């Protein structure tokens, strides 16, 4: 049983990767995408997105991080992949799933799922550019307008040398609307000989169990579900190993155990982000947490109009949250 933490632009950055991997259950992270547009990026550009590269490519909890590249120029992606490999990334991941209009308009992300031959060319170039011991993986959706090319795209990537494939079980047209089509992930899995990881609409251990059954995948990638319930990965791992079921409807991590993580998160936000960004970053996570925690709803409403980091710090301390200095 392997669980990956998803790349989510503007949300699952190095700060939240740090916090969520402290809870346990995550075997590997994939970074937010690093956009490549015709140039070899300097090391500082990679370190800005993946600062873990300065520490052996691991989060402080010891979870390996694989850097993700986004672009459509095969040779340029290959050059940047080679540099990332030299910097110690735990593999190279390629983004063929981003649904953002601005990315797709420039021929990147999910737009490439209309061109299996281009996918093959990109993966092949990156595979040739990095040492054999460095894994090259990819993340895709089921398609762009529809899922008619899902298997063909996966086969093109596998033939190009991808060692692993994450499939978000929706098309670009589906965006993030439920349901996730886990059965179609099974079709992809049966069409290639490399490991396939299922992703999409996994919010609870029960969802994980149903996803594994429908997709045939034993490896999962968690995104929003892990942000909403930071104990989800560990709960899934425990259920898989020990058959321990969490009570239905209850979060996997109690609020009392989440509070210290909230304090650690705020301390990291204060240290890494500008003053103008800090309040919004905390409220962004609280907005996700309140889907499962009534206490997070109270916190969100209390801080919704607050922009002064000092006021937020005082409020957290009043709730008994210990803040790192």
Annotated catalytic residues are 98
Residue that is written with structure tokens 């370190």 in the block: 47
Let me know: does 291 contact 203? Beta carbons within 8 Å: no
Let me know: does 317 contact 323? Beta carbons within 8 Å: yes
Let me know: does 157 contact 124? Beta carbons within 8 Å: no
Let me know: does 129 contact 94? Beta carbons within 8 Å: no
List all residues 6 or more positions away from 24 whose beta carbon is below 8 Å from its beta carbon. Answer: 233, 234, 237
Give the C-alpha distances (Å, rounded to integers) separating 54 from 9, 40, 46, 92, 128: 21, 19, 10, 16, 25
Residue 86 phi/psi, 5-degree rounding, is: -65, -30
- Tokens representing 297 are 């709803």
User: CA geometry: angle at 109 spanning 1 and 291, to 5°?
Assistant: 55
Backbone region of residue 175 per phi and psi (left: phi > 0; alpha: psi in -120 to 50; beta: other values) = left
Task: Identify the burial level of 284 via C-beta atoms within 10 angstroms of its C-beta, where 0-12 means exposed, 13-18 middle and 19 or more buried.
Answer: middle
- Tokens representing 230 are 């930071």
What's the CA gap between 25 and 22, in Å, rounded?
9
CA 177, chain centre distance (Å): 18
Please say whether the dihedral angle defined by the alpha carbons of residues 85, 89, 92 and 94, taken in this order, is positive or negative. negative
What's the CA gap between 186 and 154, in Å, rounded?
12
Instruction: Give yes or no for a cis peptide into 237 (omega within 30° of 0).
Output: no
């Amino acid at each position: 049983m392997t669980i990956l933490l998803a790349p989510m632009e503007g949300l699952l950055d190095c700060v939240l990767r740090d916090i969520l991997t402290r809870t346990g259950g995550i075997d590997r992270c994939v970074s937010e995408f690093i956009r490549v547009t015709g140039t070899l990026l300097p090391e500082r550009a990679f370190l800005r997105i993946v600062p873990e590269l300065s520490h052996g490519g691991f989060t402080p909890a010891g979870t390996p991080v694989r850097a993700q590249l986004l672009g459509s120029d095969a040779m340029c992606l290959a050059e940047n992949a080679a540099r990332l490999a030299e910097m110690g990334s735990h593999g190279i991941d390629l983004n063929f799933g981003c649904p953002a209009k601005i990315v797709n308009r420039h021929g990147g992300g999910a737009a490439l799922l209309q061109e299996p031959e281009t996918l093959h060319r990109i993966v092949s170039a990156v595979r040739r550019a990095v040492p054999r011991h460095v894994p090259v993986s990819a993340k895709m959706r089921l398609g762009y307008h529809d899922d008619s090319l899902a298997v063909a795209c996966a086969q093109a990537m596998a033939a190009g040398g991808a060692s692993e494939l994450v499939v978000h079980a929706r098309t670009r047209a589906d965006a993030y609307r439920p349901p996730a089509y886990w059965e179609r992930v099974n079709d992809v899995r049966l069409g290639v000989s490399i490991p396939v990881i299922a992703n999409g609409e996994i919010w609870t251990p029960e969802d994980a169990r149903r996803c594994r059954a429908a997709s045939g995948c034993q490896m999962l990638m968690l995104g929003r579900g892990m942000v909403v319930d930071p104990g989800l990965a560990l709960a899934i791992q425990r259920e898989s190993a020990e058959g321990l079921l969490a009570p239905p409807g209850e979060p996997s991590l109690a609020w009392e155990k989440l509070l210290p993580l909230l304090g650690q998160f705020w301390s990291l936000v204060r240290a890494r982000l500008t003053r103008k960004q800090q309040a919004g970053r905390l409220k962004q996570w609280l907005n996700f947490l309140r889907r499962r925690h009534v206490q997070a709803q109270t916190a969100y409403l209390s801080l919704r109009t607050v922009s002064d980091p000092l006021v937020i710090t005082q409020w957290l301390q009043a709730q008994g949250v210990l803040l790192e200095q």
